[in-house]
């Protein structure tokens, strides 16, 4: 008889259901092409589905004329969404009613958009192909010329990826805390109910695939450090790394943490069998080669030259410190970029980054974030959580690697064009680490209060998600 899969614990099942439900709500609520860069990612998936190739790259800053596939241009024209991307231009909701729907369908019948070519996907054509290949499946299954039908089919096909993100966080917590359902639920809930996670997992965007891939990389990296890795675990780690890089190029920055984890495991558990290295070595080399190839294909100027190293340090100083008399602020960065970009963007910027919480909410969330990590440090100092320096090392390398990789790419754009391109949501792959910090901070409470503390964390995250949905509904449909 085939071996039956174990049933997931009830708390995990409930969290998975809640996270998927909220993600589907986001998918149905956000107007067409109002998820970040959704038109370009749609055109990318369309090109893979129709032509089995990536769309050509045209830089909208220097290229005149058509910059999207014909079907997407027609859909945006009839939905009149283009003028609503920037809220300062017009604060009204996108115009779309039965009359506009009939006009759109008549236009499709009279002038069906050609399916054999995609003009371009703007900047998104340089992205890795893994997520877009996944979305292309839904594009082909929804065999209709109506772009909106295909768009929502792709969104609903994307939404279940959030289940893998939650599962990865749950397994990471189990590796660190054992079968402590309260702490596992806190870690996974901080990920699966975080508003930006459910929002980004609902649109046509490669972040939806990058989040579960990075969560599994973090879990398997910790597992390799704490337990003697089997060939199956090594293969899973290698596959997760490759999936992460093929979803979002910057996630190649997780590779040093994984490599250090392998070195630590080798030192702790002795020599591995040759089969283990036969899996790991080619996979690590492939991940590096693929990541560097994608970076090189995207732009030959992706990395700033060594001669600009001093300017890069000045950029970092401007990012993380108040204005200094001896280090002028770098042009292109807003005031207090750490707060305005990292914190606000990671907690909540919805739609096309034009829907926000009230400013007071972000201040409260900033205090909560600081208190969470301070509480985790306190718990470590008080030895409320068994410290494993190797785990702290690989987690720190993963966080530092991703942040540094984002800053290198951002500085290249700031130095060339005078604009910052980094967004707070780019930090979401590190959210499982933040969830672990929240769970460790709960260790400061007496055991009888930890369940109540965990319930407060989860209910607050869920309430914040509902408030975000309400803000978007008011913005577009009130």
From CA 426, how far away is CA 414, in angstroms rounded? 17
Sign of the CA dihedral running 35, 38, 39, 45 = negative
Which residues, in sequence order, are CB contacts of 420 under 8 Å at separation 6+? 332, 333, 334, 337, 341, 410, 413, 414
Of residues 273 and 106, which shows the higher confidence score?
106
Which residues, in sequence order, are CB contacts of 157 under 8 Å at separation 6+? 134, 135, 137, 138, 141
Long-range CB pairs of 416-421, under 8 A, 24+ apart, other chains included: 416/301, 417/61, 417/332, 418/331, 418/332, 419/332, 420/332, 420/333, 420/334, 420/337, 420/341
Phi-psi region of 280 (alpha: psi -120 to 50; beta: other; left: phi over 0): alpha
Which residues, in sequence order, are CB contacts of 156 under 8 Å at separation 6+? 24, 27, 138
pLDDT in the model for residue 324: 47
Mean pLDDT of the chain: 82
pLDDT in the model for residue 110: 72
**Can you read off the two tokens belonging to residue 99?**
């009359």
**SS3 of residue 31 by DSSP:** coil
415-433 residue pLDDT tens = 777 788 889 999 999 999 9
SS3 content of the chain, % helix, strand, coil (to 5): 70, 0, 30
384-393 residue pLDDT tens = 887 788 899 9
- Backbone torsions φ then ψ of 355, nearest 5 degrees: -125, 125
From CA 135, how far away is CA 154, in angstroms rounded? 6
From CA 53, how far away is CA 72, in angstroms rounded? 18
Of residues 286 and 433, which shows the higher confidence score?
433
Residues constituting the chain: 478
130, 170, 104: which is closest to 41 by C-alpha?
130
238, 212, 262: which is closest to 428 by C-alpha?
212
From CA 16, how far away is CA 165, in angstroms rounded? 10
At 106, the pLDDT band (50, 70, 90 cuts) reads confident
From CA 467, how far away is CA 462, in angstroms rounded? 9
Does the pLDDT value for residue 377 go beyond 90?
Answer: yes
Among 170-179, 368-377, 379-388, the minimum mean pLDDT is found in 379-388
**Can you read off the two tokens belonging to residue 355?**
């829907």
Average pLDDT over residues 307-311: 63
At 288, the pLDDT band (50, 70, 90 cuts) reads low
Q: Which helix (H) or strand (E) holds 355?
A: strand 355-356
**SS3 of residue 112 by DSSP:** coil
Domain positions in the chain are 10-158, 209-299, 307-444
DSSP annotation string for 252-281: GGGHHHHHHHHHHHHHHH-PPPHHHHHHHH
**SS3 of residue 64 by DSSP:** coil
Question: Using an 8 Å Cβ cutoff, are 158 and 199 in contact?
Answer: no
Does the pLDDT value for residue 277 go beyond 60?
Answer: no
pLDDT in the model for residue 360: 94
pLDDT in the model for residue 179: 87
At 160, the pLDDT band (50, 70, 90 cuts) reads very high
The burial of 72, by beta-carbon neighbours within 10 Å (0-12 exposed, 13-18 middle, 19 or more buried), is given as: buried
Question: Using an 8 Å Cβ cutoff, are 75 and 104 in contact?
Answer: yes
47-80 residue pLDDT tens = 888 888 887 766 555 544 455 677 777 776 666 5
Q: How far is CA 256 from CA 263, 269, 291, 353, 398, in A?
A: 11, 20, 13, 31, 7
From CA 243, how far away is CA 217, in angstroms rounded? 9
From CA 210, how far away is CA 354, in angstroms rounded? 23
Percent share of the chain, pLDDT over 90? 44
- Count helices and strands (H / E) in the chain: 20, 2
pLDDT in the model for residue 83: 39
68, 45, 43: which is closest to 132 by C-alpha?
45
The owner of tokens 């080798």 is 266
39, 315, 12, 25: which is closest to 151 by C-alpha?
39
From CA 455, how far away is CA 375, in angstroms rounded? 17
Cβ–Cβ contacts within 10 Å for residue 448, how many?
7
């Amino acid at each position: 008889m085939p071996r039956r899969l174990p049933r997931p614990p009830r708390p995990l099942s409930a969290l998975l259901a809640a996270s998927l439900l909220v993600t589907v709500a986001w998918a149905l609520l956000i107007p067409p092409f109002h998820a970040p860069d959704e038109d370009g990612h749609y055109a990318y998936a369309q090109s893979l589905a129709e032509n089995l190739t990536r769309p050509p790259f045209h830089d909208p800053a220097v290229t005149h004329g058509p910059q999207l596939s014909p079907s997407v241009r027609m859909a945006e024209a009839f939905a009149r969404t283009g003028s609503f991307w920037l809220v300062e231009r017009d604060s009204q909701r996108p115009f779309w009613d039965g009359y506009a729907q009939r006009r759109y369908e008549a236009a499709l019948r009279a002038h069906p958009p050609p399916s054999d070519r995609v003009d371009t996907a703007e900047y998104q054509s340089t992205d890795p192909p893994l997520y877009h290949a996944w979305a292309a499946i839904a594009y082909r299954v929804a065999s209709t010329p109506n772009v909106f039908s295909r768009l929502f089919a792709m969104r609903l096909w994307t939404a279940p990826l959030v289940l893998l993100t939650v599962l990865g966080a749950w397994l990471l917590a189990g590796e660190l805390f054992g079968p402590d359902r309260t702490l596992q639920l806190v870690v996974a809930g901080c990920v699966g109910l975080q508003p930006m996670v459910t929002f980004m997992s609902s649109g046509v965007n490669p972040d939806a695939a990058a989040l579960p891939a990075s969560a599994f990389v973090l879990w398997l990296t910790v597992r390799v450090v704490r337990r003697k890795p089997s060939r199956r675990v090594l293969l899973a780690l290698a596959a997760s790394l490759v999936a992460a890089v093929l979803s979002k190029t910057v996630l190649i920055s997780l590779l040093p943490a994984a490599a250090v984890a392998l070195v630590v495991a080798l030192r702790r558990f002795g020599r591995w069998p040759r089969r283990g290295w036969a899996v790991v070595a080619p996979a690590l080399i492939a991940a590096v080669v693929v990541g560097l190839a994608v970076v090189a294909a995207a732009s030959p100027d992706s990395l700033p030259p060594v001669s600009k190293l001093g300017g890069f340090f000045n950029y970092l100083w401007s990012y993380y410190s108040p204005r200094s008399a001896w280090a002028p602020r770098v042009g292109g960065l807003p005031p207090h970029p750490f707060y305005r970009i990292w914190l606000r963007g990671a907690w909540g910027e919805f739609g096309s980054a034009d829907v926000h919480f009230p400013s007071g909410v972000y201040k409260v969330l900033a205090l909560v974030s600081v208190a969470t990590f301070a509480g985790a440090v306190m718990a470590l100092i008080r030895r409320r959580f068994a410290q494993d320096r190797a785990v702290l090392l690989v987690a720190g390398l993963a966080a530092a690697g991703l942040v540094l990789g984002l800053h290198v790419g951002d500085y290249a754009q700031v130095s060339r064009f005078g604009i910052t391109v980094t967004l707070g949501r780019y930090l979401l792959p590190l959210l499982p680490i933040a969830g672990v910090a929240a769970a460790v901070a709960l260790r400061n409470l007496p055991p009888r209060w930890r369940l109540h503390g965990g319930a407060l964390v989860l209910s607050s995250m869920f309430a914040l998600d509902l408030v975000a949905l309400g803000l978007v509904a008011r913005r577009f449909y009130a």
